[in-house]
Amino acid sequence: MTEFIIESVGLLLRWLHVIAAIAWIGESFYFVALDRGLKPPRSPAQGLHGESWSVHGGGFYLKQKFLPAPAELPEDLHWSKWKSYTTWLSGFALFAILYLRSPELYLVDPAIAALSGSHAVAIAIGFLLFGWIAYDLLCRLVGFRDRLLGVAVAVLVLGISYAATHLFAGRAAFLLVGAVLATIMSANVFFVIIPGQRQLVAALARGETPDPLPGQRGKQRSVHNTYFTLPVVFAMLATHYATAFAHPHSWLVLAMFMAAAALIRQFFVLWHSGDRAWSLLVAASVILILVFAWLAPRVRDPVVQSLAPAATASPAESTPGTDDPTISTDPLLQLSAPRTADILPLIRRHCAVCHSATPTIMASAPLGAKFDTEAEIEAAAHKLHQQTVVLKVMPLGNITRMTDEERALIGRWFDALPVAPP
């Protein structure tokens, strides 16, 4: 019952998170497009910086920007903040009840780093704090030398990506990098953008000339947020793409995807100003083509061969009484062409703890995939082979300690199937 409640709360949080993120990103994109598309006002007025006309929903809209402010402040001002806060709070809550609650399952991969669950949780939270503090210090030290700052922030993100993929399980690493960037974005709103706007409004309310620096800082952070948006969305979605996060150089794969995303965002930012920088789309496309070519499986994957145990002879030919722990004495693991019935106990031991009609560590089977019968196993043969043998991302966190010999056995079973997999 507890797992059912947690799974249900997770669904609601995920729903809220997506809705809030859509609203936040949509509003952010709208204001970028509005700001970049402003034209000189036809009828100059005090403080009027630019205006933009649009047609939508059967009506015409006139948007005007005052810089620093109109002659008289309106009583009702719209503040763009709660969408940001709701996105971050719901995302962190979701991260906490899934990843931080079960770190051995989701955060830790002994093949990457031998972390305890508590250490993994502490480091993950530390990543979020470090990312914001390091970014904020860079912004304050470099100031408004935007090109230098852009390079420095890119190096910071690259370093965070490298560290995350060398400390955490692949899926968690990608998610955590996205969470670091999302934390920076929301912290920009909370600590810099909104306080700067409050100072501006307060100064104008007192009849004083506002200090331009807080507004300039807020504008700079807002620009950074728009370039972070697509990389964050990719990092979150890529947790469903094991080919990327299970790659030996996953940090570089993630960096290439995020670079392409930033170039695509820059294309649209310039588009709103009337520029058509097609070279940016070409560059992003080239990066994506290269990374997918890098990720593409070979015609005959050598993983199964490399995982095969050193002793391939039949049990009768094996040396009895050996003390070498690297040589298995299990006759099952020596089969050259195992049948589905042969691997059924192995699948039940390592996979059915999650993928079963009655899982023991989850409320329900992920994606509805169940491996209780031979027919269910054979129907999912390609996915099973891909996840356990080629990518080695299952079992989650290798919590059941599946060995390389067992993965090799699944590989030989897959190769021996009578019908070629898709």
Burial 98-137 (b: 16+ CB within 10 A, else e): bbbebbbbbbbbeebeebebeebbebbeebbebbbebbbe
Could you tell me where the DSSP H helices lie in 188-211? 194-205
Q: Please, are residues 340 and 330 in contact by the beta-carbon 8 Å criterion? A: no
Please tell me whether residue 63 adopts helix, strand or coil conformation: strand
Q: How far are the Cα atoms of 159, 167, 417 from residue 162, in angstroms, in the given order? A: 5, 9, 39
pLDDT band at 237 (very low <50, low <70, confident <90, very high): very high
Q: Please, are residues 389 and 411 in contact by the beta-carbon 8 Å criterion? A: yes
The arithmetic mean of pLDDT across residues 273-298, rounded, is: 93
Q: Please, are residues 394 and 169 in contact by the beta-carbon 8 Å criterion? A: no
Q: Angle of helix 2-36 relative to helix 82-95, nearest 10 degrees?
A: 150
Q: Please give the radius of gyration of the chain, using alpha carbons only, rounded to the nearest integer.
A: 27
Please tell me whether residue 299 adopts helix, strand or coil conformation: coil
The arithmetic mean of pLDDT across residues 292-301, rounded, is: 75
pLDDT tens figures, 393-414: 888 778 788 888 889 888 889 8
Question: Residues 235, 3, 387, 251: is their CA dihedral positive or negative?
Answer: positive
pLDDT band at 309 (very low <50, low <70, confident <90, very high): very low
Q: Please, are residues 106 and 396 in contact by the beta-carbon 8 Å criterion? A: yes
pLDDT band at 266 (very low <50, low <70, confident <90, very high): very high
Q: Please, are residues 418 and 339 in contact by the beta-carbon 8 Å criterion? A: no
Say what the pTM is.
0.81
The neighbour count for residue 93, using CB atoms within 10 Å, is 16
pLDDT of residue 314: 37
pLDDT of residue 299: 53
User: Exposed/middle/buried for 261, CB within 10 Å: 0-12, 13-18, 19+?
Assistant: buried
pLDDT tens figures, 364-397: 777 788 888 888 888 888 888 888 888 888 887 7
Averaged confidence pLDDT in the chain: 87
Beta bridge partners of 63: 52
Q: How far is residue 66's CA from residue 375's CA, in Å, rounded to a whole number? A: 67
Could you tell me where the DSSP H helices lie in 73-145? 82-95, 103-106, 117-142
pLDDT tens figures, 30-84: 999 999 999 999 888 888 889 999 999 999 999 999 888 887 888 888 889 999 9
pLDDT exceeds 80 at position 420: no
